[in-house]
Amino acid sequence: MASNNNNLINKIEVEEKRARKRMLTYASVPLLLTIILVIISYMVINNAGEEVKELKHEKSELEANIKQLNTSIGLKSDSIAEMKKVMELALNYSDKRYEFNYSVDKELYSRYPRQTEMLSEIRAMIRAGEVKWKLGGSSPEDGFDSPSFASFMINRHSAITVEAANRYQLRDALPKTETPRVGDIVFYEHGYAMFYFEYRNKPFVIGMTPLGLASLTYDFGPKRLGFGRVSY
Amino acid sequence: MYIQKIILTYKSSIRFRVGFAVLIVSIGLLIILLNAFNLLDFPGEIKSIISISGTLVSSVCAFPIKEIVDRRNQIRLINELSIQHKNSSGEDKKRLEELIWKFIEKNVVG
């Protein structure tokens, strides 16, 4: 009986040890699953975080690009609108041309020799049709815009010199006057800078327009802004 | 004497399981609290998962608790039968003794 009882107690002890091991095994399964879940989630979220970071960086770059493009579009639109206006005016002044011939030169030369030389040269250029209009151009081969052509001719025929950097500030660079004389510059809206001439008390202007070199009536279209004195 | 030995073995098992359950619950709570007070260096998106993990770890204590309850019931029954065995005599005492051992063999050893 006693040995039976001892056997039973031993069995109980062995069974209890097994039960402990079983419990630890069963408990470790959800613990392991939890650890795996956390590790996988951490990795996935970390990767997502990296992607979000990259996308944010791309977004800020794209936003900067959009801003730059918007500014560029704005500037281009302004430029196009300005060009449209200039072209409209250029088309409108086709009936405002001032026709003149060599007799004008003869009559003017005795009083305004340097200015008349310039006028003759411009007329020759108009006849040859080689000097074209070009925005920002600064040579006869390249072409000119209106202030660039005026500066170029002032430098060739007058007693003053206009620096290349100042050609778009011609209105500020030249002394202002209320009563223009032959050879002075007349400033119009939209950037026109034309030379002032008079023939038999009838004024006309000559210079570069978007349609090329042209001699036009004094009030050919755009509003007059002022005059710049040029010494010869 | 043998009965007392068996009960002591059970009590030792219960102590082990109580210790294990307390350890598991403490680890789970520690994870939840550290996460709640931002003492764990994890990204914000994973915080809720960490809290759920703490809860899962704590819930593992259900395994030892179930076994603790089982063993306490067994101790109670063995004690009850022992008291009756002490108070009985003659043929009844012998039958009760057999009954106790049969109970232990069946319910404890399996």
Q: Which of A148-157, B15-24, B67-76, B82-91 has the lowest mean pLDDT?
A: B82-91
- Would you state the pLDDT for residue A204? 93
How many other CB atoms sit within 10 Å of the CB of residue A116? 22
Query: Is the pLDDT reported for residue A118 higher than 90?
Result: yes
Average pLDDT, chain A: 88
A37 and B49 in contact by Cβ < 8 A?
yes
A37 and B53 in contact by Cβ < 8 A?
yes
Percent of the residues in chain B that have a pLDDT greater than 90, as a whole number = 27
Which residue in A has a C-alpha nearest to residue B62's C-alpha?
A: A27
What is the band of A105 on the pLDDT scale with cuts at 50, 70, 90?
confident
Query: Is the pLDDT reported for residue B43 higher than 80?
Result: no
A8 and B17 in contact by Cβ < 8 A?
no
- Would you state the pLDDT for residue A104? 80
Task: Compute the half-sphere exposure of residue A28: CA atoms within 13 Å on the CB side of its CA.
Answer: 6
Q: How far is B69 from chain A (nearest CA, A)?
A: 14
- Residues of A in Cβ contact (< 8 Å) with B46: 38, 41-42, 45
- Domain borders along chain B are 2-109
Mean pLDDT for the stretch of residues A6-29? 86
- Residues of A in Cβ contact (< 8 Å) with B109: 8, 11-12, 15
Of residues B49 and A69, which shows the higher confidence score?
Answer: A69
Q: Which DSSP state fits B106?
A: I
What is the band of A158 on the pLDDT scale with cuts at 50, 70, 90?
very high
The answer to whether A222 and A91 have CB atoms below 8 angstroms apart is no
Q: Which of A67-71, B96-100, B102-106 has the lowest mean pLDDT?
A: B102-106
**Binding-site residues on chain A for chain B (CB distance < 8 A):** 5, 8-9, 11-13, 15-16, 19-20, 23-24, 26-27, 30-31, 33-34, 37-38, 41-42, 45-46, 48-49
Alpha helices in chain A (DSSP H): 2-92, 102-109, 113-128, 146-157, 170-173
Closest alpha carbon to A173 in A149, A140, A151: A151
- Domain borders along chain A are 1-94, 97-228
- Residues of A in Cβ contact (< 8 Å) with B13: 16, 19-20
- Would you state the pLDDT for residue A178? 92
Domain A97-228 has CATH 3.90.1720.10: yes
Mean pLDDT for the stretch of residues A66-91? 84
- Would you state the pLDDT for residue B109? 58
Token output for B1: 């004497």
Q: Which of A51-65, A215-229, B35-49 has the lowest mean pLDDT?
A: B35-49
Class of residue A155 by CB neighbours under 10 A (exposed 0-12, middle 13-18, buried 19+): middle
